């Protein structure tokens, strides 16, 4: 058994190495590769992907996992080894159910759909994109059938991003979230809006960069184990236990964009840098799920870096960097400005209070399309109706409405809920941290974040992908994923900012 386990690990090490090589090729493509390198880079990524896939689908791996699964019940269920065997088994079983014809056709369909989506969005022309989305939805229905009988048609897709999580559980969480968020936003709308005009001034890019680095240093980002570069869309990429890279983007006339991107991606990176070393080069050196990953980035971005204690420390430093822009703005006004709530059309630009409503709308439409309750041709209208109901605004065209996100075009139905679940989990974790570290606010006011990072490492990061998200959240907080702590946090914070 020990020998079999070693064989499994060494196969998984090779596969993980190949996946990290693919990540390096992709990162370079988005950062430093000269434009004309794209064609051959595409073939390189395809070649390495094919080799990794062959290894992953080999009989050797399948046989090893089958044999080890027979013995997993004799092992300590929380051991790294038992978790590794179960995780690999779960992934292989899922993969085996889906036909190879479906996989290659879906790759073809979504490649075309993405380039059509780009043009459709540029021209705000949904009709152009509609047949491609119809095909994707129909293929996603076929995908669900590979997993029949299922409890909910959406379950197999959600499970790809949130292992073990059920659609009914997600809907139950959102059903609590939705009315209270709508009410909160309406109440805010009835009160005097806060001023954020001072954020819309010219902020010199090199000084923005340096301030972001100062914040990342205080968060505990280790520059010997990572770096930061510029890209059009910020992301985090992991190449190794000790090599995790983040990117950010700068807007010269809007200060928060680069800073909060750096902090958000920094939160993702700290998670990746916190996995226990025993998990290296295996599928367990990964986040527990997309939502848990997002809980880490959003915890740093919103609960930490949009808090008053954080700015009590950082604001005098920021004022020294940008005296002309900020010398006449006090810390409280600054704090209110960066937390301004304003229903808006674009998900990625939306604030903390409205963000989750953008997600719920998408989840509802995904399910309605899969079930055939709303025809794809009627989706733009259904989108606009919900925008009006939830946020009180109607997109003037489809580019600012149904066409804004790439997710459906790459086939990622099932992905959206993970963003809002991440918010919800961040609220639960925050509540637990504050009861374990009662003077956390005072620590943050002094610019000390090491207590927070240590807590996150010990309670969440080191486990990597050993546990499914519901299991992990239960272990950490003593309760399954529940929206109450997050709602209480939002209602208290915005109640104060807007004197509700
Ligand atoms: Zn993120």
Give residue-wise pLDDT tens across range 352-396. 999 999 999 999 999 999 999 999 999 999 999 999 999 999 999
pTM higher than the cut 0.85? yes
Q: Helix or strand or coil: residue 414?
A: coil
Between CA 170 and CA 172 the distance in angstroms is 5
Domains of the chain, first to last: 1-97 (no CATH), 197-344+418-497 (1.10.1370.30)
Ligand 1 centroid distance, CA of 100 (Å)? 30
Between CA 473 and CA 485 the distance in angstroms is 13
Residue carrying the six token digits 């009861």: 435
Between CA 143 and CA 134 the distance in angstroms is 14
Ligand 1 centroid distance, CA of 217 (Å)? 19
Between CA 358 and CA 265 the distance in angstroms is 21
Ligand 1 centroid distance, CA of 360 (Å)? 17
Between CA 489 and CA 249 the distance in angstroms is 29
pLDDT at residue number 60? 96
Ligand 1 centroid distance, CA of 298 (Å)? 7
β-sheet with 226-230: strand ranges across: 226-230, 243-248, 236-240
Give percent above pLDDT 70 in the chain: 100
pLDDT at 163 over 90: yes
Ligand 1 centroid distance, CA of 249 (Å)? 14
Ligand 1 centroid distance, CA of 206 (Å)? 24
**Mean of all residue pLDDT scores within the chain:** 97
pLDDT at 283 over 90: yes
Contacts of residue 172, Cβ cutoff 8 Å, sequence gap at least 6: none
Between CA 74 and CA 191 the distance in angstroms is 61
- Residues marked active site are found at 265
Ligand 1 centroid distance, CA of 265 (Å)? 6
Per-residue pLDDT, averaged over 207-219, amounts to 98
Between CA 257 and CA 212 the distance in angstroms is 11
pLDDT at residue number 327? 95
pLDDT at 1 over 90: no
Contacts of residue 328, Cβ cutoff 8 Å, sequence gap at least 6: 198
Ligand 1 centroid distance, CA of 338 (Å)? 19
Cβ density class 229-238: b for 16+ within 10 Å, e for less: eeeeebebbb
Ligand 1 centroid distance, CA of 211 (Å)? 21
Closest CA to 360 of 347, 378, 341: 347
pLDDT at residue number 425? 98
Contact 404, 350 (CB under 8 A): no
Helical ranges in 274-351 per DSSP H:
290-298, 308-321, 323-326, 331-338
DSSP for residue 353: H
Residue carrying the six token digits 């546990």: 467
Ligand 1 centroid distance, CA of 64 (Å)? 35
pLDDT tens across 249-264, in order? 999 999 999 999 999 9
Between CA 351 and CA 339 the distance in angstroms is 7
Ligand 1 centroid distance, CA of 122 (Å)? 25
pLDDT tens across 366-377, in order? 999 999 999 999
pLDDT at residue number 143? 98
pLDDT tens across 464-486, in order? 999 999 999 999 999 999 999 99
Q: What are phi and psi of 404, to 5 degrees?
A: -70, -25
Q: What are phi and psi of 243, to 5 degrees?
A: -150, 90
Task: Give the number of other CB atoms < 10 A from CB of residue 466.
Answer: 23
Ligand 1 centroid distance, CA of 44 (Å)? 27
Give percent above pLDDT 90 in the chain: 96
Per-residue pLDDT, averaged over 159-186, amounts to 97
pLDDT at 225 over 90: yes
Q: How many CA atoms lie within 13 A of 499 on its CB side?
A: 4
Per-residue pLDDT, averaged over 421-434, amounts to 98
Radius of gyration of the chain (CA): 23
Ligand 1 centroid distance, CA of 261 (Å)? 9
pLDDT at 406 over 90: yes
pLDDT at 232 over 90: no
Contacts of residue 290, Cβ cutoff 8 Å, sequence gap at least 6: 161, 162, 415, 418, 422
The model's confidence at residue 324, banded by pLDDT at 50, 70 and 90, is very high
Q: What angle do CA 125, 130, 133 make, to 5 degrees?
A: 130
Ligand 1 centroid distance, CA of 421 (Å)? 12
CB neighbour class for 190 (10 Å; exposed up to 12, middle 13-18, buried from 19): exposed
Ligand 1 centroid distance, CA of 294 (Å)? 5
pLDDT tens across 92-150, in order? 999 999 998 999 899 999 999 999 999 999 999 999 999 999 999 999 999 999 999 99
Cβ density class 416-453: b for 16+ within 10 Å, e for less: bbbbbbbbbbbbbbbbbbeeeeeebeebbbebebeebb
């Amino acid at each position: 058994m020990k020998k079999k386990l070693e064989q499994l690990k060494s196969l998984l090490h090779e596969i993980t190495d190949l996946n990290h090589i693919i990540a390096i090729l992709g990162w370079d493509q988005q950062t430093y590769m000269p434009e004309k390198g794209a064609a051959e880079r595409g073939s390189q990524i395809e070649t390495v992907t094919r080799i990794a896939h062959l290894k992953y689908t080999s009989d050797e791996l399948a046989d090893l996992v089958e044999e080890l699964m027979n013995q997993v019940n004799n092992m300590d269920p929380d051991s790294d080894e038992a978790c590794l065997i179960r995780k690999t088994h779960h992934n292989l079983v899922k993969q085996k159910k889906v036909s190879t014809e479906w996989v290659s056709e879906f790759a073809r369909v979504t490649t075309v759909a993405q380039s059509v989506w780009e043009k459709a969005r540029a021209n705000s022309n949904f009709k152009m994109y509609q047949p491609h989305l119809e095909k994707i939805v129909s293929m996603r229905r076929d995908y669900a059938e590979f997993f029949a009988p299922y409890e909910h048609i959406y379950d197999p897709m959600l499970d790809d991003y949130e292992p073990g999580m059920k659609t009914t559980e997600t809907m139950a969480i959102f059903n609590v979230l939705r009315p209270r968020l709508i009410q909160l936003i309406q109440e805010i709308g009835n009160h005097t809006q806060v001023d954020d005009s001072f954020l819309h001034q010219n902020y010199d890019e090199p000084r923005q960069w340096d301030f972001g680095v100062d914040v990342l240093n205080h968060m505990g980002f280790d520059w010997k184990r990572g770096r930061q570069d510029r890209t059009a869309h910020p992301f985090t990429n992991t190449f190794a236990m000790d090599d995790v890279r983040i990117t950010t983007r700068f807007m010269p006339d809007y200060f928060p964009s680069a800073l909060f991107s750096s902090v958000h991606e920094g939160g993702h990176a700290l998670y990746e840098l916190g996995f226990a070393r025993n998990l290296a080069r295996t599928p367990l050196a990964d986040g527990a799920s997309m939502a848990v990953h997002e809980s880490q980035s959003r915890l740093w971005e919103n609960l930490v870096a949009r808090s008053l204690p954080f700015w009590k420390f950082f604001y005098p430093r920021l004022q020294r960097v940008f005296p002309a822009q900020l010398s006449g703005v006090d810390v409280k006004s600054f704090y209110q400005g960066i937390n301004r709530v304003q229903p808006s059309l674009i998900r990625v630009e939306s604030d903390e209070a409205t963000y989750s409503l953008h997600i719920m709308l998408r989840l509802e439409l995904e399910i309605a399309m899969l079930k055939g309750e709303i025809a794809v041709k009627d989706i733009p209208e259904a989108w606009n109706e919900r925008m009006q109901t939830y946020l009180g605004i109607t997109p003037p065209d489809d580019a600012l409405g149904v066409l804004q996100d790439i997710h459906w075009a790459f086939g990622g139905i099932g992905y959206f809920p993970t963003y809002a679940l991440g918010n919800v989990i961040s609220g639960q974790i925050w509540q637990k941290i504050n009861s374990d570290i009662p003077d956390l606010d005072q620590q943050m006011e002094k610019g000390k974040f090491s207590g927070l990072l240590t807590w996150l490492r010990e309670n969440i990061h080191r486990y990597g992908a050993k546990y499914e998200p519901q299991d992990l959240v239960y272990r950490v907080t003593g309760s399954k994923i529940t929206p109450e702590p997050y709602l209480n946090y939002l209602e208290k914070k915005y109640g104060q900012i807007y004197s509700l």
